Amino acid sequence: MNHLLEIKDLSVAYGDVQALWDVSAHVDEGTVVSVVGANGAGKSTLMRAISGLLEPLSGDILFRGETLVGVPAQEITARGISHVPEGRGLFTQLTVQENLELGAYLAHVRPHFAASLDHVFTLFPKLKERRGQKAGSLSGGEQQMLAIGRALIARPKLLILDEPSLGLSPLVVRQMFELIARLHDEGVTLLLVEQNIRQALKAADRAYVLQTGHVAMQGEAAALLENPQVQKTYMGALD
């Protein structure tokens, strides 16, 4: 079977500082794949390489069988990859509605905007209530919902979420994982970066553990959740 996304022996550097070494990974259609690991492990670097924000040193990234290496970031979005970056990337001075409209800038997306907007407002009723409010005035959780809503407006074939639960209260983190489960049920293909390892493994079909730029472990998320080494290294007593 062909993978929706296939990463082959990918190496990426920032100038002289190499951040990824020979990373291989894949994502199948309709699955949730989590990428976990400590601060600085290279998770965001991997996501930036996939969405065309960083040029790899070597290796390949195939999406629906075609390489993404050398393809401009905008073209990668047009091919169906939406990336919600760490820190969300919202336009805080624009309203909720205007931010969502920006999600529909692609020509093939625009005709579906009304239906997509309805879908996003069904997922996030709060955003509907606050559609006329500036994005910067929303709570952290609401801003994260808005960033995800904007990405969904583009009807991505692959949705990348980089640490969607970062900085949110425990209640809102729970809502975020409920949302991820719902998107999974709806058949959205998700690549999820998380430091909350237990939750990320529970939410996923498969997972990769990155350690200082290398894939340290990979496999079925349920198996990794039970793996003593994963538990010992990444799940403290408080986690």
Ligand X SMILES: Nc1ncnc2c1ncn2[C@@H]1O[C@H](COP(=O)(O)OP(=O)(O)OP(=O)(O)O)[C@@H](O)[C@H]1O
The residues of the shown chain that bind ligand X, judged by CB under 6 A, are 14, 17, 19, 37, 39-45, 86, 195
Closest-by-Cβ residue to Mg ion is: 44
Q: Give the angle 81-86-87 at the CA atoms, nearest 5°.
A: 120
Tell me which of Mg ion, ligand X, none is bound by residue 52, counting a contact when its beta carbon lies within the kind-specific cut-off of 5 to 8 angstroms: none
* Helix, strand or coil, per DSSP, at residue 210: strand
31 vs 165 by CB, closer to ligand X: 165
Give me the DSSP letters along 153-168. HT--SEEEEESTTTT-
Tell me which of ligand X, Mg ion, none is bound by residue 39, counting a contact when its beta carbon lies within the kind-specific cut-off of 5 to 8 angstroms: ligand X
| Least distance in angstroms from the C-beta of 188 to ligand X | 22
Burial (CB < 10 A; 0-12, 13-18, 19+), residue 210, is buried
| Least distance in angstroms from the C-beta of 24 to ligand X | 17
68 vs 100 by CB, closer to ligand X: 68
Give me the DSSP letters along 90-147. --TTSBHHHHHHHTT-STTTGGGHHHHHHHHHHH-HHHHHTTTSBGGGS-HHHHHHHH
Out of 31, 34, 44, 144, the only residue in the binding site for Mg ion (CB under 5 A) is 44
| Least distance in angstroms from the C-beta of 237 to ligand X | 21
Sheet (strand 81-84) strand order: 81-84, 158-162, 190-194, 32-36, 206-211, 214-220
Tell me which of Mg ion, ligand X, none is bound by residue 199, counting a contact when its beta carbon lies within the kind-specific cut-off of 5 to 8 angstroms: none
| Least distance in angstroms from the C-beta of 10 to ligand X | 12
* Distance from C-alpha of 107 to C-alpha of 105, rounded to nearest angstrom: 6
34 vs 44 by CB, closer to Mg ion: 44
44 vs 82 by CB, closer to Mg ion: 44
| Least distance in angstroms from the C-beta of 58 to ligand X | 17
Find out whether 46 and 35 touch, Cβ atoms under 8 Å.
Answer: yes
Phi, psi for 195 (deg, rounded to 5): -95, -20
153 vs 180 by CB, closer to ligand X: 180
Give me the amino acid identity at 70. G
* Residue 189 near Mg ion by CB under 5 A: no
99 vs 165 by CB, closer to ligand X: 165
| Least distance in angstroms from the C-beta of 12 to ligand X | 9
